[in-house]
């Protein structure tokens, strides 16, 4: 053993000796792991540390009356069940390290070294420090009884200082109402001491001091001395003026109330500065109506229950330590509600507010929170995040996480799962956590609903995903989902219309644009508006929403600041901006920058540049909606998809992808009449000379007749104009080659359906069951959930429903003149994902609800399969001269 290791071992031995009392009480042999290290067996030391930790946790289990018998539990189960009773992140990390090292040491082939053994003992010391500092008489035994309230507060303060890196050096119970505590920590080469006298009232404290003549306090340690005076909880009115204590305490003493003690460590008022309620004193608050999204415990079907005023609902839930997710479209008042909630001192003793829209996407939440809290710390800034975690784990805090959908690295279920992983210590706390999001799928997606609702049955796949991402499913609590109503005008739209003196009911894009125009006109710089999309729109797509004043000066020029002053008030955009920490700023509402991003994307050359962004363009559903409402390229009727960059993907994962060269689509899906011509040239075994080289043996291109709902579908001329269905992928590929064409890729298909503006449906953004053959059409009303589909469509309606003749609904037309790309029947594409035996299908069919037949709707289907709901259409590549044969668009 090296001299350095031996020195560290001796130091650990000395620290373990400080916990001899708890060792004797619980029968712990703290010397055995050290002896194993001395003998050169670090794997034995780790195993022994694991056993000692199990004993400690079993005692904690019994002390808190946790259901079940701890004697039969292994370390993993003990840590999991005791976790809610351990507030210190330091101790939780120590337990995780011990568990990890113990698991590694028992794994064959893993080489355990001395450093592993030393780390295990060090982490055991961290656990023992917490037990010694915060344990009650039940854990330690032999101490005089304390009043329950004094014991609880004593444990809170002890845990607080352990979190800040101290260890408890002394503790004396002087009376049931008064306790002395001394904490110590190393700071470089010196020791820092903190001394506390915790008392229920000044009368009892004065009696204790008088009986000891103050000798207990007259130490010469370099210390910071504080006395915490508790309010008298007996209601007998007896209390002593604290000024009478000063002659006995000395000049270096601070007397504070227990409820205000945390204020000596962190100034939460400074942290919450700027979160004042939006309404002026005496001004009447405009209520925002909300509904609560709940899950039927028997069926798992989501249902919406109207509840009334959102502010009252949120306040009631927050007082009860509930976890809440607030959803609503931009401008619906989410941030105003959350900021008002965090600013209300009546709700919670400790309150925190973090705007994740201002968090850099590559910055972990722990670093972001610590950076925001550090200026509010009166000392120990390096422990800002640990202090925050301790307070919310204490069950006495409110944590508001605004705009979580803007804090993800990608807007997808996987991206949100990674964010929840990062937030797991916060979400699993006993305090109230309130989040807001504009992404509706957070509330509507069954998978995410299972994630947020611990009462719902989670699938094995979701559980595996959570474990793979480091999230313990048992630690993700239930969330109440509050959905803000969508009135004809949101609070943001109403406020802007009033301020701009415009008629009510104006689209949000028009209101934001008018505000931009007026702001620059009043500043005398109207010409700057033309530059804003390139400056701020492109920045948004590159995931940049926070700018320094120097950035604004560089991007907009010296003339963007009046009087030559480089401060926010002097910027011509000041009415549209808000402080974002230090010399940084951001738009007062994300929608302003989203509008500029949409304006930027109206130019094809700008979409090309956005497609080249290193991490892919950051697109929100609001950017897409703004873009879809703007004038774009004129529509065509030649069924040609031009080469270029297109906005594709579902609302939660929008992307810009490039189509390399122009292709011409069939105007209609391949019909029975067209496919019949192909059938007439097949070989006797049902194959053809146009077959795919990987086509499995025994494949025939004859339709799967036993699957057809109408047996004469391919023989009766009445069906000639209907789509060719019950045709497998291999047959669709061969038919396309027979006509000198090919199947489109899924990217080409979606780009042709959405056009250059990324619209939801081929005709635009407004659902219209008259234009499309889908389940809603057959039922006669919107079909929202699977249960509603099964109840309303899967019975009589499904027997009547089926594909309709192509072109029957001319309103179902894409910007390029292509028909029926939504509903009627799914369409094969040439795109294969992970399984080579499957291919992507697009567009939805007659038996899908309207919400599933959007232009972005996709699925996968086995290539050998045939269905009454799956057809196809072909595309033609340009000839050598770059043109197309004349017949392509007519079919």
Determine the 3-state secondary structure of 443 from DSSP.
helix
HSE at residue 153, side-chain half, CA atoms within 13 A, is 26
pLDDT for 217 equals 56
Tokens describing residue 349: 């003793």
Q: Cα dist. 290→404, 481, 889 in Å?
A: 19, 10, 49
Show Cβ contacts of residue 32 under 8 Å, excluding neighbours closer than 6 positions. 48
Overall average pLDDT of the 858-863 stretch:
93
Backbone angles phi, psi at 508, to 5 degrees: -60, -40
Overall average pLDDT of the 224-250 stretch:
56
Tokens describing residue 325: 């997710």
pLDDT for 446 equals 47
- Using CA atoms, how far apart are residues 825 and 545, in angstroms rounded to an integer? 42
pLDDT at 401 over 80: yes
- Using CA atoms, how far apart are residues 358 and 661, in angstroms rounded to an integer? 39
Tens digit of pLDDT for each residue in 202-215?
A: 777 777 777 766 55
pLDDT for 539 equals 94
- Using CA atoms, how far apart are residues 120 and 114, in angstroms rounded to an integer? 10
Give, as one character, the DSSP assignment of residue 689: T
- The percent of residues above 90 in pLDDT, for the chain, comes to 32
Q: What residues pair up with 671 in beta bridges, in sequence order?
A: 723
pLDDT for 797 equals 67
- Using CA atoms, how far apart are residues 643 and 647, in angstroms rounded to an integer? 13
Give, as one character, the DSSP assignment of residue 695: P
Residue with tokens 């270096």: 252
Report CA Rg, the chain. 34
DSSP for 710-736, written as a single string: STTTTT-GGGTTSB--S--HHHHHHHH
Overall average pLDDT of the 667-689 stretch:
94
Q: Cα dist. 157→50, 151, 217 in Å?
A: 28, 10, 19
Runs of H (alpha helix) within 83-113:
89-105
Smallest CA-to-CA distance from 749 within 844, 633, 612 is with: 844
Overall average pLDDT of the 882-887 stretch:
69
Max distance between CA atoms of the chain, in angstroms, equals 113
pLDDT for 153 equals 87
Smallest CA-to-CA distance from 197 within 238, 148, 248 is with: 248
Contact yes or no for 845/778 (Cβ under 8 A) = no
Angle at CA 656, nearest 5°, toward 650 and 662?
Answer: 110
- Using CA atoms, how far apart are residues 815 and 338, in angstroms rounded to an integer? 41
Overall average pLDDT of the 346-371 stretch:
89
Are β-strands 480-484 and 655-659 bridged in parallel, bridged antiparallel, or unpaired? Answer: unpaired
pLDDT class for 451, splitting at 50, 70, 90? very low
Contact yes or no for 660/478 (Cβ under 8 A) = no
Overall average pLDDT of the 767-790 stretch:
78
pLDDT for 815 equals 95
Overall average pLDDT of the 581-607 stretch:
92
Contact yes or no for 546/359 (Cβ under 8 A) = no
Tens digit of pLDDT for each residue in 372-392?
A: 999 999 878 889 999 998 998
Selection from 464-478, 556-570, 667-681, 693-707 with the highest mean pLDDT: 667-681
- Using CA atoms, how far apart are residues 390 and 159, in angstroms rounded to an integer? 8
CB neighbours (10 Å) of residue 267?
16
- Using CA atoms, how far apart are residues 229 and 245, in angstroms rounded to an integer? 11
Angle at CA 386, nearest 5°, toward 384 and 391?
Answer: 95
Contact yes or no for 690/738 (Cβ under 8 A) = yes
pLDDT for 348 equals 83
pLDDT at 547 over 90: yes
- Using CA atoms, how far apart are residues 809 and 316, in angstroms rounded to an integer? 50
Q: Which carries the bigger pLDDT value, residue 223 or residue 595?
A: 595
Tens digit of pLDDT for each residue in 12-23?
A: 777 777 777 777
Q: Which carries the bigger pLDDT value, residue 20 or residue 552?
A: 552
Give, as one character, the DSSP assignment of residue 753: H
Backbone angles phi, psi at 297, to 5 degrees: -65, -20
User: How does 820-846 read in b/e, with b if 16+ C-beta sit within 10 Å?
Assistant: bbbbbbbbbbbbeeeeeebbbbbbbbb
pLDDT at 235 over 80: no
DSSP for 637-688, written as a single string: SS-EE-SEEEEES-TTS-EEEEE-S-EEE-SSPPBHHHHHHHHTT--TTS--
Which pTM does this prediction carry? 0.74
pLDDT at 465 over 60: no
Q: Cα dist. 438→277, 333, 619, 759 in Å?
A: 21, 11, 13, 19
pLDDT for 84 equals 75
Overall average pLDDT of the 569-587 stretch:
89
CB neighbours (10 Å) of residue 126?
19
pLDDT class for 141, splitting at 50, 70, 90? low
Are β-strands 584-587 and 577-579 bridged in parallel, bridged antiparallel, or unpaired? Answer: antiparallel
Q: Which carries the bigger pLDDT value, residue 356 or residue 487?
A: 356
- Using CA atoms, how far apart are residues 182 and 166, in angstroms rounded to an integer? 10
Tens digit of pLDDT for each residue in 696-750?
A: 998 999 998 888 888 899 999 999 999 999 999 999 999 999 999 999 999 999 9
pLDDT for 399 equals 92
- Using CA atoms, how far apart are residues 530 and 704, in angstroms rounded to an integer? 58
Contact yes or no for 402/335 (Cβ under 8 A) = yes
- Using CA atoms, how far apart are residues 545 and 555, in angstroms rounded to an integer? 14
- Using CA atoms, how far apart are residues 158 and 195, in angstroms rounded to an integer? 11
Q: Which carries the bigger pLDDT value, residue 548 or residue 105?
A: 548
pLDDT class for 240, splitting at 50, 70, 90? very low
Smallest CA-to-CA distance from 528 within 551, 554, 559, 550 is with: 559
Q: What residue ranges define each of the domains in the chain, with the CATH number in brackets?
A: 1-141 (1.20.120.330), 144-262 (no CATH), 270-277+287-484 (3.40.50), 491-628 (no CATH), 674-878 (3.90.1580.10)
- Using CA atoms, how far apart are residues 475 and 420, in angstroms rounded to an integer? 11
Least confident stretch, 23-32, 128-137, 580-589, 843-852: 128-137
Tens digit of pLDDT for each residue in 483-535?
A: 887 777 788 888 899 889 988 888 999 999 999 999 999 999 999 999 999 99
Overall average pLDDT of the 842-856 stretch:
88
Q: What residues pair up with 398 in beta bridges, in sequence order?
A: 351, 432
**Which phi-psi region, left, alpha or beta, contains residue 764 (left: φ > 0; alpha: ψ -120 to 50)?**
left
């Amino acid at each position: 053993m090296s001299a350095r290791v031996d020195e560290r071992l001796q130091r650990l031995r000395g620290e373990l000796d400080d916990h001899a009392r708890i060792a004797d009480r619980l029968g712990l042999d703290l010397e055995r792991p050290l002896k194993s290290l001395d003998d050169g067996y670090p794997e034995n030391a780790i195993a022994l540390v694991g056993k000692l930790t199990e004993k400690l946790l079993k005692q904690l289990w019994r002390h808190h009356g946790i259901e079940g018998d701890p004697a039969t539990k292994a370390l993993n189960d003990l840590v999991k069940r005791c976790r809610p009773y351990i507030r210190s992140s330091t101790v939780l990390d120590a337990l995780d390290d011990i568990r990890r090292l113990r698991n590694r040491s028992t794994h064959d082939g893993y080489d355990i070294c001395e450093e592993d053994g030393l780390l295990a003992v060090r982490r055991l010391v961290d656990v023992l420090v917490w037990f010694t500092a915060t344990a009650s008489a039940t854990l330690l035994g032999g101490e005089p009884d304390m009043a329950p309230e004094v014991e609880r507060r004593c444990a809170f303060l002890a845990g607080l200082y352990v979190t800040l890196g101290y260890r408890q050096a002394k503790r004396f119970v002087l009376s049931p109402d008064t306790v002395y505590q001394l904490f110590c920590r190393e700071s470089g080469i010196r020791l820092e001491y903190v001394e506390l006298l915790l008392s229920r009232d000044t009368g009892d404290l004065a009696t204790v001091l008088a009986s000891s003549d103050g000798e207990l306090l007259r130490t010469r340690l370099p210390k910071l001395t504080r006395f915490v005076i508790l309010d008298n909880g007996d209601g007998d009115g007896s209390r002593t003026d604290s000024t009478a204590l000063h002659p006995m305490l000395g000049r270096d003493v601070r007397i504070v109330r227990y409820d205000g003690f945390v204020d000596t460590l962190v100034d939460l008022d400074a942290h919450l500065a700027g979160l004042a309620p939006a309404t002026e004193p005496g001004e009447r608050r405009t209520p925002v109506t909300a509904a609560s999204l709940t899950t039927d415990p028997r069926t798992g079907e989501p249902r919406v229950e109207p509840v009334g005023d959102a502010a009252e609902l949120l306040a009631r839930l927050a007082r009860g330590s509930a976890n809440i997710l607030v959803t609503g479209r931009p401008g619906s008042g989410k941030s105003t509600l959350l900021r008002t909630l965090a600013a209300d001192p009546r709700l919670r003793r400790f309150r925190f507010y973090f705007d994740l829209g201002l968090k850099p996407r590559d910055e972990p939440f722990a670093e972001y929170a610590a950076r925001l809290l550090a200026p509010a710390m009166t000392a120990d800034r390096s422990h800002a995040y640990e202090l925050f975690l301790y307070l919310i784990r204490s069950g006495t805090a409110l944590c508001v996480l605004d705009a979580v959908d803007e804090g993800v690295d990608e807007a997808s279920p996987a991206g949100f799962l990674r964010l929840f992983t990062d937030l797991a210590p916060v979400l699993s706390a006993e305090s109230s956590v309130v989040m807001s999001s504009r992404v509706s799928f957070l509330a509507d997606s069954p998978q995410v609903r299972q994630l947020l609702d611990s009462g719902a049955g989670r699938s094995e796949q979701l559980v595996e995903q959570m474990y793979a991402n480091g999230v313990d499913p048992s630690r993700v609590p239930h969330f109440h989902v509050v959905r803000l109503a969508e009135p004809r005008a949101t609070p943001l739209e109403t406020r802007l219309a009033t301020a701009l003196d415009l008629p009510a009911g104006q689209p949000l894009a028009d209101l934001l644009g008018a505000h931009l125009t007026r702001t620059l006109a009043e500043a005398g710089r109207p010409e700057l508006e033309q530059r804003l999309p390139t400056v701020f729109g492109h920045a948004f797509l590159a995931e940049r929403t926070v700018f320094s004043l120097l950035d604004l000066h560089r991007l907009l020029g010296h003339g963007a600041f009046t009087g030559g002053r480089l401060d926010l008030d002097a910027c011509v955009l000041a009415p549209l901006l808000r402080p974002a920490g230090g010399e940084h700023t951001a738009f007062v509402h994300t929608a302003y920058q989203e509008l500029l991003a949409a304006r930027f994307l109206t130019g094809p050359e700008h979409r090309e540049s956005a497609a080249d962004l290193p991490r892919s363009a950051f697109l929100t559903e609001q950017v897409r909606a703004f873009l879809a409402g703007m004038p774009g390229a004129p529509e065509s009727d030649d069924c040609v998809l031009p080469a270029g960059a297109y906005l594709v993907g579902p609302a939660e994962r929008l992307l810009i992808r490039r189509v390399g060269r122009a292709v011409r689509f069939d105007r209609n899906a391949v019909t029975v009449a067209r496919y019949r011509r192909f059938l007439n040239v097949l070989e006797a075994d049902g194959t053809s000379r146009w077959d795919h080289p990987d086509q499995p043996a025994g494949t025939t291109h004859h339709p799967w007749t036993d699957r057809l709902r109408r047996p004469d579908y391919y023989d009766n001329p009445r069906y000639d104009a209907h789509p060719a269905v019950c045709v497998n992928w291999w047959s669709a590929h061969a038919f396309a080659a027979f006509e000198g064409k090919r199947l489109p890729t899924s990217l080409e298909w979606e780009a042709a359906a959405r056009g250059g503006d990324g619209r939801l449906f081929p005709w635009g953004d407004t659902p219209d069951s008259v234009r499309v053959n889908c389940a809603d059409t057959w039922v006669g009303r919107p079909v929202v959930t699977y249960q509603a589909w099964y109840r309303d469509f899967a019975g009589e309606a499904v027997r009547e429903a089926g594909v309709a003749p192509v072109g029957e609904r001319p309103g179902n037309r894409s910007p390029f003149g292509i028909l029926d790309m939504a509903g009627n029947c799914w369409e094969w594409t040439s795109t294969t994902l992970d399984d080579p035996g499957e291919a992507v299908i697009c567009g939805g069919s007659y038996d899908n609800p309207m919400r599933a037949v959007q232009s972005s709707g996709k699925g996968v289907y086995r290539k050998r399969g045939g269905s009454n709901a799956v057809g196809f259409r072909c595309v033609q590549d340009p000839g050598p001269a770059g043109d197309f044969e004349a017949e392509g668009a007519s079919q």
